[in-house]
Structure 1
Amino acid sequence: MVHAYILIQTEVGKAAAVAAEISGIPGVAQAEDVTGPYDVIVRAEADTVDQLGQLVVARIQNVEGITRTLTCPVVHL
């Protein structure tokens, strides 16, 4: 299982709506609107890195109101 945090910037005033929509996407464990340089932080999981990439590109980046994403895969050193 691959886990990642996805940091999302949204259009002004869209953070809550983006977080709510993303939280319903399969593979998303949690999505919360936050303050700071990013507007929404998502914890996602998938069976493989490829499936994680598909989740981000095909599902999350297509949510209306998102302007930028940064995916941070979790590593265990």
Structure 2
Amino acid sequence: MQAFVLIQTEVGKALLVAEAISLLPGVLVAEDVLGPYDVVVRVEAADTTELPGVVQRIQRVPGITRTLTCQVAAH
């Protein structure tokens, strides 16, 4: 299963946060973006029981102030 994690960061930290997150297990891509969120991340987990662990690793990255996880609908 996959999900998007939308991230708000401390001012000026978006690029550093995106770079750090891109190295974490389960992260497919992490991009710094413009708009209401500073970083958008696409993650992958084997199932819904593993997804919280991936998100928790992301939330531990310094410089993050808020996250919103959006699970991709199964087809």
TM-score by length of 1: 0.94
Q: How many residues align?
A: 75
In structure 1, runs of 5+ residues without a counterpart are none
CA RMSD of aligned residues (A): 0.8
Cα distance, 1:76 vs. partner?
A: 3.2
Identity of aligned residues (%): 60
Task: Give the corresponding residue for 2:58.
Answer: 60
SS in 1 for 2:28: strand
In structure 2, runs of 5+ residues without a counterpart are none
Pick which of 3-12 and 46-55 moved more.
Answer: 46-55
Is 1:44 aligned with 2:43? yes
The amino acid across from 2:68 in the alignment is: L
Query: Moved runs in structure 1, 4+ residues, more than 4 A?
Result: none
Is 1:70 aligned with 2:68? yes
